[in-house]
Amino acid sequence: MFKFDKKQEVFEVGNVKFGGQPGQYPTILVGSMFYNRHNIVTDEDTGEFDRPAAEKLWDNMLEMAETTGNPCVNQIVGETPEAIKKYIDWFVEYDEKTPFLIDSSAGDVRAAAADYVTEIGVADRAIYNSINASIHEEEIEAVKRSDIEASIVLAFNAVDPTLKGKIEVLEKGASGQTQGMLDIAKDCGITKPLVDVAATPLGAGAGSSIRAVIAVKGHFGLPVGGGYHNMASAWDWMKTYKKQFETKEQRKAIYMPTDIGTNLIPQILGSNFQLFGPIENTNTVFPATAMTDIILAENAKELGLEIEDENHPINKLV
């Protein structure tokens, strides 16, 4: 394996450390809850959901994090301001320390969540998702007036999905933005930028997304991650191929290795955090991630690096 010549930043959010050289820290796993059509949600507009089911899912993720040593983060997705506030209330009451992403397909919902986490005093655990090329001024102002210090900074360039385009959107801007995303983040008071390499489907720039892991860490020294599972979920061939199998269990058995594999490839190259999708995939993602972290840690030691987390999988599972 390798280590970067560039100093690698490490940012702590809540009780979780993001960044560092490959192998030094365990990879952070971010599971999504309350996402579109999540079966625990009974009303996505008002944020009504099955609380015992939500607690069971989150308890399982905490248990896997404890077992493997891979820290976890909750990606809280909401469709309306009312809904996301209700989800945040549940989470910060149920879990007093774990970080969480505030996420939505709508900018006004993300902005409302930024205001809300500040209002209730949990902004130090919140990670804004995300500062990206389509962010509007109202949303920027909401992040500025919030107490949020950490944000996903998305390297998505709609005009140029290549590695060059990703670096350009981070440094110079795109899609009408005259500033780079990292400068916008800084202007918003974000002191802990977490770069998402913007994983794109196979055949549409997936290779550039993986290369960006090395390039961003090597160029900026910042923590890097992404929703790599989108490469597999958007794979048209796989969608067609798995239909020939009769049962849901068979189709899942065919699909999940590709889903997990999309996370392991960038992890080997130094990715620090993985937005692995539905929290229901916790039990399949954590062991594979821990295994890869052990390999990375063994190589880090050979390269003269210290393992900086006593709960690292190499210290728990070997």
CB 111 within 8 Å of CB 138: yes
- What average pLDDT does the segment 239-253 reach? 95
Per-residue pLDDT at 152:
98
Helix (H) or strand (E) holding 277: strand 273-278
- What average pLDDT does the segment 51-57 reach? 98
- The CATH class given to the 10-302 domain equals alpha beta
CB 54 within 8 Å of CB 86: no
Per-residue pLDDT at 177:
85
- What average pLDDT does the segment 285-291 reach? 98
Per-residue pLDDT at 51:
98
Domain boundaries, the chain: 10-302
Separation of alpha carbons 200 and 231, rounded Å: 6
Q: Indicate whether 307 pLDDT > 90.
A: yes
- What average pLDDT does the segment 140-162 reach? 96
Per-residue pLDDT at 178:
86
What are 90-135's pLDDT values in tens digits?
999 999 999 999 999 999 999 999 999 999 999 999 999 999 999 9
Separation of alpha carbons 318 and 313, rounded Å: 8
* Sign of the four-CA dihedral 303, 276, 164, 140: negative
CB 199 within 8 Å of CB 227: yes
pLDDT band at residue 176 under the 50/70/90 scheme = confident
Q: Indicate whether 37 pLDDT > 80.
A: yes
Between 86 and 174, the higher pLDDT residue? 86
- What average pLDDT does the segment 22-50 reach? 97
pLDDT band at residue 1 under the 50/70/90 scheme = confident
Q: Indicate whether 46 pLDDT > 90.
A: yes
Neighbours of 317 (CB within 10 A): 14
Say how far residue 267 (Cα) sits from the centre of its chain: 13
Counting residues of the chain whose pLDDT is more than 70, the rounded percentage is 100
pTM: 0.96
Average pLDDT along the chain: 96
Q: Indicate whether 175 pLDDT > 90.
A: no
Separation of alpha carbons 276 and 31, rounded Å: 6
